């Protein structure tokens, strides 16, 4: 049926590499899965339940008080979501946010400089270590920032704001390049 909606990745075909030795790289990450987990479960217990349900390559990111995002590059199967929901019954609730949010990767030696142009989060590695996450604003857009490496970050944004954030990041990257990135 031609009138049925077709899934199309919102940032399909986009990429950005800065000049000067590619000191900044932006990339649209795979639209695999993103789950929102809410409840009184500790991260270690959540990780154990994720492993049992087959989410072995997923990462857990703090998203607020007793809230976590579980992100991964693999598509979500209904059976694995059902298994996780059953395992978490009575401890936490899980909601699939895979089609409602987009992940953007930012890497390179000037990635912190780029992000400092849009957010007030202190991204110094001594304060914001690898694996740290924060819900914040980049400009006027609400995002979750996660440090994934020494010079790499991942931003999760509502799907409807992804293109706007992408454009803003490209402008900030160009400005960071001019500032000696």
Write the CB contacts of 52 (distance below 8 Å, at least 6 apart in sequence). 83, 87
Domain ranges of the chain: 15-30+100-178, 33-96
Decide which of 3.30.70, 2.70.70, 3.40.50, 3.30.450 is the CATH code for 33-96.
3.30.70
Average pLDDT, the chain: 88
Poorest-pLDDT segment among 8-17, 93-102, 129-138, 142-151: 8-17
CATH architecture for the domain at 15-30+100-178: 2-Layer Sandwich (3.30)
CA distances, 138 to each of 104, 109, 120, 149 (Å) = 13, 19, 8, 20
Band of the pLDDT at 6, cuts 50, 70, 90?
low
pTM attached to this predicted model: 0.86
């Amino acid at each position: 049926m031609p009138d049925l909606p077709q899934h199309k990745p919102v940032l399909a075909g986009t990429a950005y590499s800065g000049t000067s030795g590619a000191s900044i790289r932006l990339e649209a990450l795979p639209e695999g899965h993103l789950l929102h987990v809410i409840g009184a479960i500790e991260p270690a217990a959540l990780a154990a339940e994720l492993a049992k349900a087959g989410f072995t390559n997923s990462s857990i990111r703090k998203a607020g008080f007793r809230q976590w995002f579980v992100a991964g590059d693999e598509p979500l199967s209904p059976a694995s979501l059902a298994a996780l929901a059953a395992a978490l019954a009575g401890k936490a609730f899980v909601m699939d946010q895979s089609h409602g949010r987009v992940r953007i990767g930012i890497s390179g030696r000037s990635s912190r400089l780029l992000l400092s142009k849009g957010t007030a989060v202190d991204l110094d590695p001594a304060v914001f270590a690898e694996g740290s996450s924060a819900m914040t604003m980049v400009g006027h857009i609400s995002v979750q920032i996660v440090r994934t490496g020494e010079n790499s970050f991942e931003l999760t944004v509502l799907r409807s704001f992804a293109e706007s954030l992408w454009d803003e990041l490209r402008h900030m990257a160009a400005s960071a390049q001019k500032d000696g990135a």
